[in-house]
Chain A
Amino acid sequence: MARKPSERRHAKERIEDLNLSPIMSILVILIPMLLYAFSFFEVKVQAVTAPRMGPSNQKPKEEDEKKPLNLTVLVTGKGFVVKQQAELTTEPEKPIFMRSFNGGAEEYDFPALYSRLMAKKKQYPDEITINIGAEMDIPWHIIARTIDSARVQLVEESYEDMKAYASAKVKSDSKGEALDLFPAVVFVVAE
């Protein structure tokens, strides 16, 4: 309805506040949905190479003077078996059996595995490849921890205790980058 000019002049102009209720309603629905999809954990990746099936068909290159170490760790139900190129082996490797730490249940001896691999690294510093295989029923979380123990060098060269090994810091070079142990992991399947 039109106002008289005098009324229009004296009428108080009032700016209406924006109605935020619909936007709030959308946000109240959207935020729980996004919270559900949000990961509260940090996802990283471990790189591996496809498994090799059975004996290799590749003929060894004659010009290669250095024989590869062919370091292999097999995860069994009883522990770890470490193997290497037969020609480079002076005495048979002893298996690393599962053992109890601090009176608890028996578990895989990852500190001993790391210590053994570190000793191999000192013997063959240029070697970067490790073959990791397992018995068919070994669960993935054990294999993931095995890859962990073979990937980087830690501050100490050997560990006895699981607690000390679990909390050990990674050894770094002068640039602050982690020193590799056997970073190239190849899955092997024995047929």
Chain B
Amino acid sequence: MADEEGTELEAADSAGGPVEHPIDFKKRERKAARNDGIEGALNINSLMDIMTILLVFLLVNITSDPLSIVQDDYLKLATSTADYNPEDSVPITVTKRNIIVDHKQVVKVDCASGGQVCQDGDFTKPGNFYSVDKSFKEDGSESSFLIEPLEKKLSAIVKQQKEEAKELNREFKPVATIVCDSDIPFRLIAEVVHTAGMAGLSDLRFAVIKSGAR
């Protein structure tokens, strides 16, 4: 080993270069490398890759969902084993507070809990009754199934979609998807379905959350 080191030093001497010990050379090289880079910089390339993949995944999933439902205290969907995918249609959202069409509130939903108007904390309790005030119905009649502001709004959308379909030389599909809270009573559902039918939307679908158990 000592002989080999001696041979190397002799070789360097014979080449005419300055004689330097190999350990010193390595130290100098490391120091140069340290000074060459940006001091204290964090390498975030890998993190960027993860973030970009996550961003693309989320964007693809969100844009491919035609309903984009966000559940909260006022909108919890019923579960079902139904296996039909939602398609592009007129979405009618019936929450415990409002009936929403095209992201705009059309009619207010009244909530009664034990004969009293529901307070903020009452919406999560079972046994509430949800209804639309008779002033929004045809002729102000309690027994009417036609909700006039909803019918007006849906008729306008149907008219617009028919014109668009005509311009694009396509067939108009009278499809509506009802996104309904699981506690909404049959009376209100029947009113919404009847009103949609009167506005020309005869093909109706109810949004549900897919569940393994029925």
Residues of A within 8 A of B (CB): 17, 20-21, 23-24, 27-28, 30-31, 34-39, 41-51, 53, 75, 110, 133-141, 143-145, 147-149, 151-152, 165-168, 170, 178, 187, 189
Which DSSP category, helix, strand, loop or mixed, fits chain B's interface?
A: mixed
The total of interchain contacts (Cβ-Cβ below 8 angstroms) comes to 169
Query: Does B67 lie within 8 Å of A44, measured CB to CB?
Result: no
Docked CA distance A136–B79 (Å) = 20
Residue from the list B38, B55, B186, B208 in contact with A135, Cβ < 8 A: B186
Docked CA distance A98–B29 (Å) = 85
Residues of B within 8 A of A (CB): 38, 41, 44-45, 47-48, 51-52, 54-55, 58-59, 61-62, 65, 67-71, 77-86, 129, 145, 177, 180-187, 189-190, 193-194, 196-197, 202-210, 212-214
Kindly provide the distance from the CB of A180 to the nearest chain B CB, expressed in whole angstroms.
Answer: 12
Query: Does B51 lie within 8 Å of A27, measured CB to CB?
Result: yes
Query: Does A165 lie within 8 Å of B214, measured CB to CB?
Result: yes
Query: Does B194 lie within 8 Å of A51, measured CB to CB?
Result: yes
Q: Which residues of chain A have C-beta atoms less than 8 A from B61's C-beta?
A: 38-39
Q: Which residues of chain A have C-beta atoms less than 8 A from B189's C-beta?
A: 140, 143, 187
Query: Does A189 lie within 8 Å of B203, measured CB to CB?
Result: no
Query: Does A141 lie within 8 Å of B51, measured CB to CB?
Result: no
Query: Does A141 lie within 8 Å of B78, measured CB to CB?
Result: yes
Docked CA distance A166–B212 (Å) = 8
Q: Would you list 20 pairs from A and B whose C-beta atoms are within 8 A, ordered by A residue? A: A17-B41, A38-B58, A39-B70, A41-B210, A42-B209, A44-B80, A44-B207, A45-B84, A45-B205, A48-B193, A48-B204, A51-B190, A53-B194, A137-B129, A140-B189, A140-B206, A144-B182, A144-B208, A168-B214, A170-B81
